Amino acid sequence: MRIAFLMAPEGVEQIELTDPWQAVIDSGDEPVLVSTKPGQIQAFHHLDKADVFPVQEVVGETSADSFEGLVLPGGVANPDALRMDERAVSFVRDFFEQGRPVAAICHAPWTLVEADVVRGRTLTSWPSLRTDIRNAGGTWVDEQVQVCDAAPSTLVTSRKPDDLKVFCEAFLEEFAKRR
């Protein structure tokens, strides 16, 4: 199963990329790094530059049809940049319209808010997104992980790096249902 990991050219919280990425590999599936520009992405440890990772596919040159699921890592700058890129927002929206599962952690739900896919859903995130999610018609909860099975697409959300273990377990379980 191919799983898209969508991120901006810089600003992703490295552990929110690398832990889910490794979990996907360990499950026998194929993670694919998708970004808004070719080349590489610059990850961060909070506000400090960390490693760079090669972009494998570019939004606008690939589609949700090519993947069985989508993972949206956080970091403050990453989803803020993604929500300003209409091609990235459309890519995310397509997963929901096609009923493909999506997982988002930390600040990543900002991109979901921009894609207008949180209305009627229950989700969690970094606490500072609470009002944005509510204003977009979603219900915010303070839980390690939240699985919302509202049609047409399952959404798995989590709050922060400390929740990565349960986040990975939950989204892998939901994504496996696509087999």
Per the annotation, the verdict on 168 as an active-site residue is no
What residues does 33 pair with on adjacent strands? 5
Please pick, among 45, 46, 107, 168, the residue that the annotation labels catalytic: 107
Q: How far apart are CA 160 and CA 114, in angstroms?
A: 20
**Is there a catalytic annotation at residue 107?**
yes
**What whole-number distance in Å separates Cα of residue 56 and Cα of residue 58?**
7
In Å, how far are 15, 32, 102, 117 from 56, measured between CA atoms? 19, 6, 19, 26
By annotation, the residues acting in catalysis are 106-107
